[in-house]
């Protein structure tokens, strides 16, 4: 009886979850064996409207070669602006491919762009109380005469 249960769990496809972050954007990628279909917020990667953003999303795939075509990926991105979302999604994709494919892919990504694998810890500074609508370090302008 126990052997039958282990056989069923062994047949399940391996699902890998990765996370990418950039500024306020957070991307969650889910990889599973498939035919190479990558979707960003349920839109195929080839259908992303802005060409520069589409090319930025495809960078980790181009560096990896054709090995990534054995996997399907669904990326869900929330928060931040469009550029932050694209950078978060490409980071999630790159981290997943490094975990799935291994080899010297990590060194290739680090040589090309470190942000493909490493979170950028910089965040915006909070506004300060007296003049919070102007920004964190803006003070009233003073005249010298």
Q: Give domain limits for the chain.
A: 14-116
Q: Given this model, what pLDDT does residue 6 score?
A: 55
Mean pLDDT (whole number) for 103-129: 90
Tokens of 31: 């990889």
- CA dist 17 and 29 (Å) reads 6
Sign of the C-alpha dihedral computed for residues 57, 58, 59 and 60 taken in this order: positive
Q: What is the mean pLDDT of the chain?
A: 88
Q: Which fold is adopted by the domain 14-116?
A: Ribosomal Protein S5; domain 2 (3.30.230)
Residue 63 pLDDT grade (very low, low, confident, very high; cuts 50, 70, 90): very high
Q: Please give the pLDDT value at position 111.
A: 94
């Amino acid at each position: 009886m126990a052997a039958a249960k282990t056989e069923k769990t062994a047949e399940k496809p391996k699902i890998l979850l990765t996370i990418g972050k950039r500024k306020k954007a957070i991307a969650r990628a889910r990889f599973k064996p498939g035919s190479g279909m990558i979707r960003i917020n349920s839109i195929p990667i080839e259908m992303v409207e802005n060409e520069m953003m589409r090319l930025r999303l495809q960078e980790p795939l181009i560096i990896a070669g054709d090995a990534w075509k054995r996997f399907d990926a669904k990326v869900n991105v929330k928060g931040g602006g469009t550029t932050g979302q694209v950078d978060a999604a490409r980071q999630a994709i790159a981290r997943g491919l490094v975990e799935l494919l291994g080899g010297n892919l990590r060194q290739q990504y680090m040589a090309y762009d470190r942000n493909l694998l490493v979170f950028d810890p910089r965040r915006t500074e909070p506004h300060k109380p007296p003049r919070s609508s102007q920004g964190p370090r803006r003070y009233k302008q003073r005249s010298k005469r």
